[in-house]
A and B are shown apart, each in its own frame.
Chain A
């Protein structure tokens, strides 16, 4: 850069350089702070990393031991399954390793499972529990998932699957490699929570639920995805079971999803018929089960899941 001779120009250049230096320092500070805050304050990160670590240490079961079940899903399973209750009810029949992250969908878990398999996780059964709309959505969770679930190469494959442009791809890659970039939305939400009264209620309204495609489009999206997911699990010696959790307005779509799973050759579990659950079993949003609904769902799942696994084992042994 050409140096300037005037005093004003010299001062300006000096401050421009200082500003560039401040930016560089701040980027480092933000990154370090984000890592610190994430590890020490984020309950979501704590939960996910504990669950993830637990899954990674999973040992393949020996003869006569109950099978290892990797159970992944979004908030529908997180709120709908009482894990302690499920473990107690099924302890003799299976060992459950859950990983639940809110607002995740098909792509989050397809690439999440890919990475888990690559890290040596070998469950006998993989249970995927995602709401129908998130299963059919073309997108991924923008925070946490890129950092926790994807490898860099997965990120590129995912960008290709989602037909992301180069800017969105580079953004996803950055979210994968930078904790600050990945978590800044969560940081903003936490700050706003302290500034805006009743922000949770507002964000409940602001969060967009993906729309469910209708007619043939539903099957055209669902069946190939289920087959791909099934292929991934089979390639790593695991059986895939799709759990379809209920939501207040999910009656028709649950049966459509079950039909698509049958067509794709994937075992499906619909522990509770959404038609029999009234609004009193749901939280205010009509999407997530409340404790009463969760107890009901967990009991039904504890009954249905071991049956499905046993049926599979019997078939396999024949």
Chain B
């Protein structure tokens, strides 16, 4: 059930209406069943895998709390981590390793091994719920969180349908207590939830889906052989597509959760206004970058061991972040680019401490102005997106090799104009939100104004959304 499909709203509306008529315990049971139905809508076969993995972690968590004098605590932790990452590795990375192994054998002259015939289908949302479960197990082990006493509560924490398929990955300490306490209807937050859903639908169906037309055409060669303008158009269009797509998804997820009294963490904070890549990762897919920081970068040593070790940790973390996005070398390169640029930024342009007067730090002070830094950061991200979007390393290289050719065609002007029509409004909204620090545009305006804006969104959706349902980019992760 895609969030932008009518089927989702046919599911969501009765679920929300029925949910608020139930008592606390019944609410959780009902939501758990609804979430399993939501997941099973894609493929019932993978429901057993998710329930199995949830059950294992629920049981293991009971054995690893710090107050237990069990000598096997650490072993249970390792067992859980191995289990979780084995499941993820098998389903997500098996094909990647088989293909890489097969290619390596081919280069050694060993051919015709039927390795490529073995294929494993990727269960939806596996990367997201695995990370959520790992975070829970680690937090319980470290004593940051008490283990859930009820399977219903833990099962709901893992599978609550708004975040089940593509996040935002919720911190256990943030979501589990919400699941455990009774949620009381709050009309203010309910209204905010509706606004978030409208905002998300416009981002996805209007901005992302229309930019996708241009990005797909550029990357699939429909604009002709890649040249400077096609690369620019393709990467810029894809940048706005993926931003509209995933921030839209996150908004709908947060809005849907809010309709049921849950609060999800903000996942995007105007990332294209970042003045450096480090800042970018604090604004882009915040739930993932927070997870990576807390459960990978800091355990690796973080920034505690000098420049060399910090750089190594950054590059390793970002390569794994890239690999998390997809099992392909293109994602490894995407992550490596980010890791290297983060390390370079840290070495050569360290962030100065906040001035005493509270002024923002100036990362490249003296070298570039604020907008120059933003443009540079945006373009570094766009460049890395060529690897994120291209189906293979070879195609990414071919695509980027067009940068030296400046041949212009008149159709490009129409394409850039169309991109501007859809990207600029989102950019303006980001500027407004940056100035006001709101969770969604005009969040502090009166109800009447927000209702009017939602009505305008409805009209915009009707007039500018396309006919094809494009799956959310992050659904395949």
Task: Show the binding face of A for B, using Cβ within 8 Å.
Answer: 1-2, 4, 8-16, 18-19, 22-23, 26, 30, 142-143, 165-168, 170-171, 174-175, 180-182, 184-188, 191-192, 195-199, 201-202, 205-206, 208
Contacts and interface: CB of A to CB of B under 8 A. Distances in A.
Contacts of A188: 463-466
Q: Which 9 A-B pairs have the closest CB atoms?
A: A185-B467, A12-B187, A13-B187, A15-B447, A9-B187, A202-B414, A12-B191, A170-B7, A142-B467
Contact of A12 (B222, B411, B447, B464): B447
Contact of A185 (B7, B8, B220, B466): B466
A196 B5 contact: no
Contact of B418 (A167, A186, A192): A192
A4 B458 contact: no
Contacts of B463: 187-188, 191
Given A170-B7, A191-B464, 20 more contacts: A1-B20, A1-B21, A2-B184, A16-B191, A26-B459, A142-B468, A166-B41, A167-B7, A168-B469, A171-B6, A184-B465, A185-B466, A188-B464, A192-B421, A199-B418, A201-B410, A201-B411, A205-B223, A205-B411, A208-B220
Contacts of A181: 6, 467
B440 to A, nearest CB: 14
A170 B188 CA distance: 33
B37 to A, nearest CB: 11
Interface in B408-464: 410-411, 413-415, 417-418, 421, 447-448, 450-451, 454-455, 458-459, 462-464
Contacts, number: 134
Nearest to B209: A188
A170 B6 contact: yes
Contact of A167 (B41, B214, B410, B413): B41
A83 B69 CA distance: 88
A167 B217 CA distance: 25
B104 interface: no
B6 A201 contact: no
Contacts of A205: 217, 222-223, 411, 415
B196 to A, nearest CB: 13
24 contacts: A1-B17, A12-B188, A13-B190, A15-B450, A16-B191, A16-B194, A19-B194, A19-B455, A23-B458, A30-B462, A167-B1, A170-B10, A181-B6, A185-B466, A185-B468, A186-B467, A188-B464, A198-B410, A199-B414, A201-B414, A205-B217, A205-B415, A208-B216, A208-B217
Interface in B20-63: 20-21, 41-42
B185 A22 contact: no
Contacts of A187: 462-463
A72 B356 CA distance: 76
B70 interface: no
Given A16-B190, A184-B466, A208-B222, A198 B5 contact: no
Contacts of B455: 19, 22, 26
Interface in B56-109: none
B146 interface: no
B186 interface: yes
Most buried by A among B8, B21, B188, B465: B188
B113 to A, nearest CB: 22
A19 B468 CA distance: 26
A280 B74 CA distance: 76
A279 to B, nearest CB: 17
B472 to A, nearest CB: 11
Contact of A198 (B186, B216, B414): B414
A180 B467 CA distance: 10
Contacts of A9: 186-188
A245 B217 CA distance: 26
Contacts of A196: 414, 417-418, 421
A280 to B, nearest CB: 22
Contact of A171 (B5, B186, B413, B464): B5
B292 interface: no
B236 to A, nearest CB: 16
Interface string B187-216: 110110010000000000000000001101
A287 to B, nearest CB: 13
Given A15-B191, A208-B220, A184 B467 contact: yes
Contacts of A174: 6
B410 to A, nearest CB: 7
B2 interface: yes
Contacts of B451: 15, 18-19, 22
A208 B455 CA distance: 34
A184 B461 CA distance: 10
Contacts of B220: 208
Contact of B187 (A4, A22, A198): A4
A15 B452 CA distance: 10
Given A15-B451, A165-B42, A208-B222, A198 B190 contact: no
A238 B240 CA distance: 52
B431 to A, nearest CB: 22
B417 A206 contact: no
B24 to A, nearest CB: 12
Interface in B168-187: 184-187
Contacts of B185: 1-2, 4
A12 B458 contact: no
A261 to B, nearest CB: 30
A169 B432 CA distance: 39
A272 to B, nearest CB: 27
A193 B42 CA distance: 37
Contact of B462 (A2, A14, A15, A26): A26
